Structure 1
Amino acid sequence: MLFKVHQRLTYLNHLIKKRATGSPKELAKKLCITERAWYKFRDELINDLNLPIDYCPHSRSYVYTEEGSFEIGFKKLTPEKAANLSGGRSMLLQFF
């Protein structure tokens, strides 16, 4: 299930950047979900992940309303950045 969500988000990001989502109905079809599921998914992206997306009727596509990037995955830190982190096992033990 997580892999499907990752694929769907990656594809959605690609379509939005290209301004090629089409109408909500067309986008739902491209994502292999129902239009109703798309609206629910869209609301979660906007409200839970704070993705700045909106539908542009002129280009008939969803667009990002702010400059930035949406990435999913694991990014390895450089040793310098890793040395500046706090937390980890000791914080986790304090939490529980």
Structure 2
Amino acid sequence: MLWKICQRLNYLDKLIKQKATGTPKELAQKLGITERAWYKFRDELVNDLHLPIDYCPYTRSYVYTEEGSFEIGFRKLSKQETANLNGGRTSSVIYFRNFFSLNF
């Protein structure tokens, strides 16, 4: 399920950057969900994750309203980032951080 959500988010990001989402109904079809599910998903992206997207009737596409990048991934922390961690320490030599970041 998580894989499907990540794939859907990456595809959505690509469509938004290309200004190729189409209408809400067309976008829902592209994402393989209902239009109602799209509106719920969109509300979560905007309200919970603060994703700056809006629908543009002129381009008939959702667009980012601010410059930035949308990232989902996994990366290794640098030694400096590791040194700045608050909380407990681990004895593992390798430090990883899961992150879901929206850099806008």
Fold agreement, TM-score > 0.5? yes
CA distance in 2 between counterparts of 1:50 and 1:86 reads 25
Which structure 1 segments of 5+ residues have no match? 91-96
How many residues align structurally? Answer: 90
Is 1:50–2:54 an aligned residue pair?
A: no
CA distance in 1 between counterparts of 2:88 and 2:4 reads 29
Superposed displacement of residue 88, structure 1: 3.3
Superposed displacement of residue 89, structure 1: 5.1
Q: What is the TM-score of this pair, normalised by structure 1?
A: 0.88
CA distance in 2 between counterparts of 1:86 and 1:30 reads 42
Which structure has the highest strand share of the two? 2
Query: One-letter code of the match for 1:10?
Result: N
Residue 94 (structure 2) aligns with: none
CA distance in 2 between counterparts of 1:29 and 1:20 reads 13
SS at match of 1:14: helix
Which structure has the highest helix share of the two? 1
Residue 83 (structure 2) aligns with: 83
Query: One-letter code of the match for 1:2?
Result: L
CA RMSD of aligned residues (A): 1.4
Q: What is the TM-score of this pair, normalised by structure 2?
A: 0.81
Residue 10 (structure 1) aligns with: 10
Give the share of equivalent positions with the same residue, in percent: 74
